């Protein structure tokens, strides 16, 4: 007959082995699950929470959730390109208004920088009035400042010209292959504001000067040289550039040596 002590030992040993086996079985379910075994609910919950907590890459977030500003700019760019193409009616001989292309090119030359620079320089050399020399010298300064500013902005932005443009412009330089802003529009707005402020003109002539500036800007789009935003930005830039010229106005008091040079 077994003794009570041995019976107790057997019971404690069996219970210990049972608890040990239960603990081992519990560990095997959590940390030693075979690859082919199905996921437990707890593991699926942990994996689900882990995947939800991990952030998406930044570029994916930008693609999935674009900003309102980006959508608005993309829409405006698309409208600008579509409108510019529709308005380029003189872009080629076979365009809708191809017969008016020579006239548009004459207007293009009227807003070119070289005729304005040469004409202003010639008038400055031939002028006998100190007041006329002051005005012409500042006009020359404004034209040079316009050329530098437009060249710098074009070189920084590097926006290509419209695809329907024909590169047959008069006297171009390297930066003229870029489109933004329109140098003709900038110059037209600058000269228009300068002439209206410093030349005494009758009302019909003042109206003609304004119409000329607007027509130069419109011709740039009709010829396919620029997009609509290039011309509008050029007109605004030229309008603001005149304020800079007025602020830096050259006078016999501020630059006496320069006026002494032109007076001889």
Place of tokens 């005494």: 200
Q: Which of 160, 158, 154, 162 is nearest to 92 (CA)?
A: 162
Q: Is 198 known to be catalytic? A: no
Q: How far apart are CA 196 and CA 205, in angstroms?
A: 10
Catalytic residue among 164, 197, 198, 226: 226
Q: How far apart are CA 213 and CA 193, in angstroms?
A: 10
The length of the chain is 264
Catalytic residue among 164, 184, 197, 247: 184
Query: Coil, strand or helix: which one is 250?
Result: coil
Q: How far apart are CA 264 and CA 262, in angstroms?
A: 6
Q: Is 226 known to be catalytic? A: yes
b (16+ CB within 10 A) / e for 153-170: bbeeeeeebbeebeeebe
Q: How far apart are CA 60 and CA 66, in angstroms?
A: 10
Which residues, in sequence order, are bridge partners of residue 178? 160
Q: How far apart are CA 230 and CA 221, in angstroms?
A: 9
Active site residues: 184, 226
């Amino acid at each position: 007959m077994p003794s009570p002590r041995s019976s107790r030992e057997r019971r404690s040993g069996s219970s210990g082995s049972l608890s040990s086996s239960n603990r081992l079985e519990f560990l095997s379910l959590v940390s030693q699950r075979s690859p082919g075994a199905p996921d437990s609910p707890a593991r699926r919950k942990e994996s689900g929470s882990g995947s939800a907590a991990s952030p998406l890459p930044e570029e994916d977030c930008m693609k999935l959730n674009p900003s309102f500003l980006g959508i608005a700019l993309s829409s405006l760019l698309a409208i600008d390109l579509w409108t510019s193409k529709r308005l380029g009616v003189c872009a080629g001989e076979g365009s809708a208004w191809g017969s008016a292309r020579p006239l548009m090119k004459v207007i293009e030359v009227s807003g070119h920088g070289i005729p304005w620079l040469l004409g202003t320089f010639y008038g400055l050399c031939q002028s006998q009035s100190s007041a006329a020399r002051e005005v012409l010298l500042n006009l020359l300064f404004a034209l040079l400042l316009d050329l530098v500013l437009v060249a710098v902005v074009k070189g920084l932005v590097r926006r290509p010209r419209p695809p329907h443009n024909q590169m047959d412009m008069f006297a171009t330089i390297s930066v003229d292959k870029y489109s933004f802003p329109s140098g003709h529009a900038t110059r037209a707005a600058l000269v228009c504001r300068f002439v209206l402020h410093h030349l005494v003109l009758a009302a019909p002539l003042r109206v003609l000067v304004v119409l000329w500036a607007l027509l130069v800007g419109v011709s740039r789009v009709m010829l396919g040289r620029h997009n609509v935003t290039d011309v509008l930005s050029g007109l605004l830039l030229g309008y603001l550039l005149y304020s800079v010229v007025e602020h830096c106005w050259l006078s016999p008091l501020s630059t006496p040596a320069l006026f002494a040079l032109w007076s001889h």
